[in-house]
Amino acid sequence: MIRHGGQLSLLRHRFPDAPEPLIDLSTGINPFPYPVPPIPETAYTRLPEPVHIRALKEAAAAAYGARDPDLIAVAPGTQILISSLPRIFPAERVVVRSPAYGEFAAAWDAAGATVVEDAGIEALEEGDVAILCNPNNPDGRRLAPETLRQLQARRARAGGRLIVDEAFAEFSEAELSIVPAVPQPGMTVLRSFGKAYGLAGMRLGFLIAEPDIARQVEEALGPWPVSGMVIHVAVAALGDEGWREEMKKRLALASERLDTLLSSRGLEAVGRTSLFRLVRHDDAPAIAVALGRAGILVRDFPERPDWLRFGVPPDGVAWVRLESALAKALPG
């Protein structure tokens, strides 16, 4: 099993005396959730109809810059899409630009593919399928959309496919999105609704690819891939351009404050997106433990024990507690 962020129950088990409420800075989920609108009773009592799924796809196409709603498949979160990719695109050799979200390599390995994890962009020229996150999770590395278009144009000549996870291509990183290039042959994009809108528990994600691929995914997931409640909230949120613009500014200010705090304690910046900061310190494991005792969960990396990832604190109380805990963990 791959260890993910967000497991506050494990933090409580490990540090039973940690103060409440526990603060989760480990996930990269927007700490300022979209205000959920009133949900009509019919969203609970009736099955979603094709027209409702269509409305959701149209809202997603407009928000993400897709040329046509028919390029989009709706799913209950991008994780189920990642797990399904080896069945959608059978491959013998898969290249994942590393470090990356660990579920990609795990899914393809379980399907029997040869998985190559490589940090260089040159490696993405190879393999039946190449996968990258843009911006990258966890280090925030990014590639320009034109670079990805040209990369896939070369790969497509040999029938190769490029899968781009854009879970963090939101707010200040929205210009990185390759979605407007679809349906470029062999290009597939994953988009996560929950991270950007701070509603991860709703479980909603999108696959954007050629129309026949989108239809194949829809057929595999069946007629009711998400609930009526999810559709109602997501259509409103995806259509709210004003909220996205205000959130871009709010996250920029909060991120600057987080940068200042982390650097003041000697934590070296490694990478960033609007929703997280990755830092380096030789005593990172001890810092994570000290924060855990203070009831604050950050993301550590066993494969890179000098790294820590911090999400944006959600409120004034969380800021005070983080500042205090870091001051104790890294005095002077």
pLDDT of residue 4: 82
**Tens digits of per-residue pLDDT, 32-66?**
999 999 999 999 999 999 999 999 999 999 999 99
Q: Which H/E stretch holds residue 321?
A: helix 316-329
Nearest to 254 by CA among 32, 35, 6: 32
pLDDT of residue 312: 98
- Asked if residue 105 lies in contact with residue 135, where contact means CB atoms within 8 angstroms, the answer is no
pLDDT of residue 263: 98
pLDDT of residue 2: 72
> Is 42-239 assigned to CATH 1.10.3720.10?
no
5: phi then psi, degrees, rounded to nearest 5: -75, 175
pLDDT of residue 152: 97
Q: How far apart are CA 256 and CA 63, in angstroms?
A: 26
pLDDT of residue 221: 94
**Tens digits of per-residue pLDDT, 274-318?**
999 999 999 999 999 999 999 999 999 989 999 999 999 999 999
pLDDT of residue 1: 67
The alpha carbons of the chain give a radius of gyration, in whole angstroms, of: 20
- Asked if residue 238 lies in contact with residue 58, where contact means CB atoms within 8 angstroms, the answer is no
Domain boundaries, the chain: 8-33+242-329, 42-239
pLDDT of residue 166: 98
Its pTM stands at: 0.96
Strands (E), the chain: 23-24, 72-75, 93-97, 114-118, 129-133, 161-165, 187-192, 205-208, 268-273, 276-280, 296-297, 299-300, 307-311
pLDDT of residue 3: 74
What are the tokens at 69? 């709603």
Q: For residue 281, how many other CB atoms are within 10 A of its CB? A: 19
Instruction: Give pLDDT < 50 ranges for the chain.
Output: none
Question: CA quadruple 143, 257, 19, 17: dihedral positive or negative?
Answer: positive
Q: How far apart are CA 300 and CA 13, in angstroms?
A: 17
CATH number assigned to the domain covering 8-33+242-329: 3.90.1150.10
